Structure 1
Amino acid sequence: MPAFLTLVGVKQAKKGAKFVHIGPTELCKVCEFYKVCIGNLEPKRIYEIVEVRSIEHPCKIHEDGVCVVEVDYPNIQAALETKQAIAGVTITYLPIKCDFYDCPHIDICRPSGLFEGDKCIVEEVSEKIDECKAGKVLRVVTLKIAQQ
């Protein structure tokens, strides 16, 4: 998927930096740059800066202004049931259903920035999760969110 443009604070505009979009403030909603800055980002989604451009704009939220950046969805490690864990396939992501919130694998079974129904490409299949408290046969995979 090709990267897309947005604006981030000048101090945060570093290639490779990741951020979670938390949503607009009231000041954002009346800003002339709203559509390019906030309008194309999804709340609670993780983004990675892949390129920083030299264009800057003033901002009422960021003291030093904002910078134009290209962002993309980063690869996310997650757990999948073994039957879905096939490198190269596109899946519809479903988080692992489990009631064991004290499980050491909870962060990989329900990773941040990935939502039920996301179309994802399984980039890589890694180790098996040996001690699933719910008794599931799981693998650690690297997922790339396909174009939304």
Structure 2
Amino acid sequence: MATSPHLTAIGTYLAKEGLEFVYLGPSKECRSCPIKSVCLALKQGFHYRITAVRDKEHNCAVHEGGKVKIVEVEEVPFKVAVPSKSALKGATIVFYREKCEGCPPSLCNPPGLKEGTKLVIVDVGEKLECGDLTVVTVRSPEH
């Protein structure tokens, strides 16, 4: 269930087809970068998979080794915990962090995902033991 590829830059050590990552947003160092428009075109908190790697390297003040490569990526669905009453396949929801103590933090508080982000539920998983929460697989509405 992938969209057409987007371009972004990623550290040369990470630039491998099939690698999945979460875009956490820009760093302060990105403000003056000549290729920032490529790097910052992804949606914060969403998950991506590298589908192709270009050969040319570019300088980068953020990534390890100081170099990045341009890669093609596609958005991939990911899992979050939502109130069980909202866990309906096909529903568009607005994400809010859940307060819980027993879940993996990546489900109730996914890295980088901002509160108020719209998501579409593509699959409903198991009910969690903490609170009245259910694991769902989501994607962006533009997907």
Shorter-chain TM-score bucket reads: 0.7 to 0.9
Distance apart, 1:42 and its partner CA: 5.4
- Matching of residue 85 in structure 1 with residue 84 in structure 2: no
Is 1:24–2:23 an aligned residue pair? Answer: no
More displaced, 85-94 or 55-64? 55-64
Report the 3-state secondary structure (helix = DSSP H, G, I; strand = E; otherwise coil) of the residue aligned with 2:13.
helix
Alignment of 1:36-115 (within 5 A): 36-37=38-39, 39-41=40-42, 45-61=45-61, 62=63, 63=65, 65-96=67-98, 98=99, 100=100, 103-105=101-103, 107=105, 108-115=107-114
Query: How many residue pairs are counted as aligned between the two chains?
Result: 137
1:136-147 map, 5 Å: 137-147=132-142
Cα 1:56/1:87, change in 2 over 3 Å: same
- Runs of at least 5 residues in structure 2 that lack an aligned partner in the other structure: none
Identity of aligned residues (%): 27
* Larger Rg, first or second structure (1 or 2): 1
Moved more, 85-94 or 103-112: 103-112
CA RMSD in angstroms comes to: 2.6
Q: CA deviation at 1:65?
A: 2.9
Unaligned runs of 5+ in 1: none
Structure 1 CA distance, aligned partners of 2:49 and 2:83? 30
Q: TM-score under structure 2 normalisation?
A: 0.75
The superposition leaves residues 44-80 of structure 1 with CA deviations (integer Å, 9 ceiling, x where unpaired) of x344233123241331435373211123444222111
In structure 2, the CA distance between the partners of 1:46 and 1:16, relative to structure 1 (3 Å rule), is: farther
Secondary structure, in 3 states, of the residue corresponding to 2:18?
coil
Aligned equivalents of 1:130 and 1:14: distance in 2? 37
- TM-score for both structures, normalised by structure 1: 0.73
**Inter-partner Cα distance in structure 2 for 1:128 and 1:47:** 23
Q: Is contact 1:92–1:118 with CA below 8 Å preserved after alignment? A: yes
